[in-house]
Chain A
């Protein structure tokens, strides 16, 4: 029975990992930019939620009205003014990746340093919707359930947009082949910039949702960047539903592994899974071979 509760907990946690990774996968899949400062946008959302409830005594969910526009605008500016020059000068994706890795690592250090200077390195957390509810016989905290449902709703919305709208069709075309997409009249730069910005906004939203049940500090951004990267690589670049599924798989493996082996080894278990997938199926679990 405890095992079942651990399993349910893993699914709820994994849904969050899926949501966190979704923004990164959009950024890498459509805009072709691997954003290693992604976790800092996540953290921005978490901190905004924290200050909303602690300073202004408001519902932390309302913080998205501040954090989403800021994350969207900052990501758009980063793409437009820092990434496009790199895209222009790179002869191929390998060269672009090398530059982007360095620049976004640089941004990560700058953002993390600024966060540490302004908000110190203390662990932050708050209590919100922390009442037990019963799910299929397992007891879970309501905030985790709300966050999980929020993650599923967002993933479904993104899936529907990509599947059934004109914009979605354009984005899917860019994911498959940006050059060919440009040839049929899609404004690749503009759509890439908007997708990159939307990815940042998703990071902030997931930060808000996660902050309701996990404490965080100014240095925990990189941990979520890594988790998101693992999920993206597990799912395959550009796969939306696959990302949610891979996130849930990671969450379940992590929870069960932590329970059955040792909770202090969760990162080791994550990386074990990650290395295994990189070596066995480097294109991802949910891609057609």
Chain B
């Protein structure tokens, strides 16, 4: 994995601009899907709020980069995402099941409309321009680092007490509470951590946009694409969502430009296939095949 990271880090020296921009989208999706699975995969609270936090990151950058240097604006995006998620989490994480899904789905629409209204009525504009000259290579390296830190961080948390607490909540929240876990604190903390990564990714990607408006920033398709990437790869493992993001980003690059409606159909079919045939994601399938192959190898050797 370290070797792969080094190869990816050196890639921009040799690759074309087109390849770099595909990798930028890929790293963004990997970081988003890993962050999503970090909270939702373990606790089984299916969140469709990814686009909300992503969009918040975009807007924070668009507003802040006029006044402060870009790195400060990026940090501000992560902090604002964390704080908004903490407030949202405190008030809504006691909703379970479909109520939580529907609430998070609506949240993006709600923020979208409020910001749109604010921009039109208070700032008398519908869009904001982003004046930065950050080269693509820097965006590439930044997102690569964010994606790697998210994966390693998610893996590390799954090994410590916090990760066990998260999984216990996913198994049975009442039991978790009775065995002494402060479920509210764990849930809100992890929800906010995951959201701050989403906001940060949104802010970094916003550096590539010449201008933004509320419908670019708060686009629900991000929520769905990230959800599918995570489930396709397998939300139960730290590296699962990254595996799922690869085919999805390639498919999106292939279809979304020229056949956007067909991409939406393919996404829909992905949902159905995952539920019926790949409940643990591709990584579980790979691991199962690998274990079967390994068992076969050791058997022939002992004979």
Give residues in A with beta carbon < 8 Å to B: 34, 82, 85-86, 93-94, 97-99, 101-103, 105-114, 116-117, 226, 229, 233, 262, 264-265, 267-268, 271-272, 274-275, 278-279, 282
**Does the CB pair B120–A271 fall under 8 Å?**
no
Contact of B262 among A107, A117, A268 (CB under 8 A): A117
Q: What are 12 pairs between A and B in contact, CB < 8 Å? A: A97-B97, A105-B271, A106-B268, A113-B268, A116-B261, A229-B102, A267-B109, A271-B107, A274-B103, A275-B92, A278-B99, A279-B91
Report chain B residues within 8 Å CB of A275.
91-92, 103, 106
Q: Nearest Cβ distance between residue B228 and chain A, in whole angstroms?
A: 9
Q: How many residues of B contact A (CB 8 A)?
A: 39
In the bound assembly, the distance between CA atoms of A267 and B46 in angstroms comes to 22
In the bound assembly, the distance between CA atoms of A262 and B116 in angstroms comes to 12
Report chain A residues within 8 Å CB of B263.
113
**Closest A residue by C-beta to B274:** A102
B224 close to chain A: CB less than 8 A = yes
In the bound assembly, the distance between CA atoms of A99 and B262 in angstroms comes to 23
**Closest B residue by C-beta to A34:** B98
Majority secondary structure of chain B interface residues (helix, strand, loop or mixed): helix
In the bound assembly, the distance between CA atoms of A282 and B99 in angstroms comes to 9
**Does the CB pair A282–B95 fall under 8 Å?**
yes
Q: Nearest Cβ distance between residue A40 and chain B, in whole angstroms?
A: 11
**Closest B residue by C-beta to A95:** B44
Report chain B residues within 8 Å CB of A282.
95, 99
Contact of B106 among A111, A113, A274 (CB under 8 A): A274
> Given A34-B98, A233-B99, A86 and B275 touching (CB < 8 A)?
yes
In the bound assembly, the distance between CA atoms of A114 and B107 in angstroms comes to 27
Q: Nearest Cβ distance between residue A81 and chain B, in whole angstroms?
A: 11
> Given A98-B97, A99-B275, A109 and B103 touching (CB < 8 A)?
no
B264 close to chain A: CB less than 8 A = yes
Name, among A98, A107, A233, the residue most crowded by chain B CB atoms within 10 Å (CB to CB).
A98
In the bound assembly, the distance between CA atoms of A108 and B276 in angstroms comes to 16
Name, among A262, A264, A275, the residue most crowded by chain B CB atoms within 10 Å (CB to CB).
A275
Report chain B residues within 8 Å CB of A265.
113-114, 117
> Given A101-B101, A229-B102, A108 and B268 touching (CB < 8 A)?
yes
Report chain A residues within 8 Å CB of B1.
none
Name, among A113, A265, A279, A282, the residue most crowded by chain B CB atoms within 10 Å (CB to CB).
A113
Contact of A268 among B110, B271, B274 (CB under 8 A): B110
Which residues of chain B (250-302) have a CB below 8 Å from chain A?
261-265, 267-272, 274-276
**Does the CB pair A98–B46 fall under 8 Å?**
yes
Supply 17 further A-B pairs (C-beta < 8 A) apart from A106-B271, A110-B268.
A34-B98, A82-B272, A93-B97, A98-B44, A102-B275, A103-B271, A106-B268, A106-B270, A107-B272, A110-B264, A110-B269, A113-B263, A265-B113, A267-B109, A271-B110, A275-B91, A279-B91
**Does the CB pair B44–A267 fall under 8 Å?**
no
B245 close to chain A: CB less than 8 A = no
Q: Nearest Cβ distance between residue B74 and chain A, in whole angstroms?
A: 29
B36 close to chain A: CB less than 8 A = no
Q: Nearest Cβ distance between residue A202 and chain B, in whole angstroms?
A: 20
Report chain A residues within 8 Å CB of B109.
226, 267, 271
**Does the CB pair A268–B261 fall under 8 Å?**
no
Report chain A residues within 8 Å CB of B105.
226
Which residues of chain B (216-243) have a CB below 8 Å from chain A?
224, 231
**Does the CB pair B272–A103 fall under 8 Å?**
yes
B121 close to chain A: CB less than 8 A = yes
In the bound assembly, the distance between CA atoms of A82 and B101 in angstroms comes to 21
Contact of A94 among B97, B114, B270, B274 (CB under 8 A): B97
B96 close to chain A: CB less than 8 A = yes
**Does the CB pair A264–B120 fall under 8 Å?**
yes
